Amino acid sequence: MIKKRVLCCSVVLSVMILSKLYSTPNSTSKKDPIRKTLLEQVVKKKKAIALSPEKQKEVYYRSVKFANKRVPLHRPSVERKFERYLTNFSFRKQQTYSLHKKAEQHLPKIAAILASYGIPEDFKYVPLIESDMNPQITSHKGAGGYWQFMPATARLYGLKVNGSVDERKDLIKSTHAAARYLKSLYKEFGDWTLVAAAYNVGGGSLKSSIRRQGTNDYYNLRLNNETGTYVYKLVSMKQVIENPHKHGYKRYAEMADKYQHINEQNLL
């Protein structure tokens, strides 16, 4: 922090000196070596500040969004939770490229279906979080398939679930059902971040929490641990898939990271 302040002060000082030089009649020549040297120093120092780890992190964090809405990473508690799951999904922690392989195989199909219903593309990461793209997974409560639908909810949104057929395991059919469900939740809450939370905990339970606590800001709500971290997991998964090089997935570095500068050091 001290180094950063000193660097900023020296840039300001250089700019002040340059201003003085420009206002002096004897220094108006473009070939003035002193002015040229100072200009070069200012440019170098500006680049140094722009590429400092602190500045890189600040710019990157300002770009982090869920469903086109900025995540308030300026709040310390929000930043801590986000970084925890960002670390969990990094290559250093995972030591495998399976997340990106599954994303390549399934996410384009899921995104296309969601778009046809007007659902933000970021919801395509839900199956990665819910089932790890494994349709055979069933929770202890009975939720199953790619989107981890409960049997009753699956039937309500058009899926067959009985002793011989379970359409929760069909990626295309279950994604259409999930899109219809997400759309109904949006009509109820009018906010996509709350829709994600409601998908996890249920609309009735989330409404009760909002009413009881007097706030509809997901990042301020006190929710159970799974729901309270659900959006952070989705946002972190999105960052890891969209910015593979930044988070250690070097095999996918050819896919241009959205916020990776050529000289930028990776965060993780």
Residue 69's DSSP bridge partners are 66
pTM above 0.75, yes or no: yes
Going by pLDDT thresholds of 50, 70 and 90, the confidence category of residue 23 is very low
> How many DSSP H helices and E strands does the chain contain?
13, 2
The answer on pLDDT for 133 being more than 60 is yes
Which has more pLDDT, 37 or 213? 213
Mean pLDDT in residue range 153-176: 97
Retrieve residue 154's tokens.
């699956």
Q: Which residue type does 211 have?
A: R
Mean pLDDT in residue range 225-231: 97
Report pLDDT digits (tens) over 238-254: 999 998 888 888 876 55
Going by pLDDT thresholds of 50, 70 and 90, the confidence category of residue 22 is very low
Phi-psi map region of 219: left, alpha, beta (phi>0 left; psi -120 to 50 alpha): alpha
Retrieve residue 237's tokens.
């998964």
Which range (122-136, 170-184, 207-221, 238-252) has the least confidence?
A: 238-252
Residue 65's DSSP bridge partners are 70
- The sign of the CA dihedral 216, 112, 251, 48 is negative
CATH of domain 68-252: 1.10.530.10
Mean pLDDT in residue range 173-197: 98
Residue 76's pLDDT is 96
Q: Which residue type does 108 have?
A: P
